[in-house]
């Protein structure tokens, strides 16, 4: 009889261990992707620089949120930025990308909210035109409550002489009223 009790105990321990192992494996390999601020910042910076280098106005425009894309003077702002950014990138300080971010989710004021916002800034972008630039932007990566804000709301380009070019408007995109 003692032998039987010990065998049952071993089975219970064995099944408990297997259950815990499955729980840990499923927990660490879930379908949800973890978003990294630096990865998102680097990805967007490379996209922006690529579109600036190739003078791709439509590509650059596609990065902006719907609220900014519907503004009347966006095409003119993009063209001004394409004219402002000279040459092709030689290098930039990828380790010096500063990424501020905000993440939140919950329920308040009668509505659900969940968002992920980044504000990267990269310095020392050197180009073949012997220019040095700094690029910064604000972008919502996730915005469950207001999907028309997903994308870049404002892109700022500054050269070494402190001349600036701005596309979009962070405050306009994040104001509760529609653009027009």
Do the beta carbons of residue 63 and residue 47 sit within 8 Å?
yes
* Span 153-165, average pLDDT: 96
24-62 pLDDT, tens digit per residue, is: 444 433 334 455 667 888 888 889 999 999 999 999 999
pLDDT band at 176 (very low <50, low <70, confident <90, very high): low
SS3 content of the chain, % helix, strand, coil (to 5): 40, 35, 25
Do the beta carbons of residue 25 and residue 17 sit within 8 Å?
no
Task: Give the pLDDT score at 108.
Answer: 63
Pairing of strands 151-159, 111-127: unpaired
Share of the chain above pLDDT 90, in %: 43
The larger pLDDT score, comparing residue 160 to residue 97, is at: 160
Model-wide pTM > 0.75: no
All domains of the chain in start order, with CATH: 37-173 (3.10.450.50)
Task: Give the pLDDT score at 15.
Answer: 53
């Amino acid at each position: 009889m003692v032998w039987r009790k010990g065998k049952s105990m071993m089975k219970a321990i064995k099944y408990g261990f297997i259950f815990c192992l499955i729980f840990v494996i499923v927990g660490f390999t879930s379908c949800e992707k973890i978003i990294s601020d630096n990865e998102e910042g680097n990805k967007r910076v490379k996209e922006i620089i690529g579109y600036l280098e190739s003078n791709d106005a439509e590509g650059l425009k596609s990065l902006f949120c719907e609220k900014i894309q519907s503004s009347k003077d966006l095409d003119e702002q993009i063209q001004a930025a394409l004219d402002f950014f000279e040459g092709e990138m030689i290098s930039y300080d990828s380790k010096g990308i500063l990424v501020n971010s905000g993440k939140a989710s919950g329920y308040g004021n009668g509505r659900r909210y969940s968002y992920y916002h980044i504000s990267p800034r990269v310095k020392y972008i050197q180009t073949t035109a012997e220019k040095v630039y700094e690029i910064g932007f604000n972008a919502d990566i996730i915005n469950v409550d207001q999907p028309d804000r997903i994308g870049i709301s404002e892109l700022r380009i500054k050269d070494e002489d402190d001349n600036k070019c701005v596309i979009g408007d962070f405050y306009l995109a994040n104001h509760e009223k529609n653009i027009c």
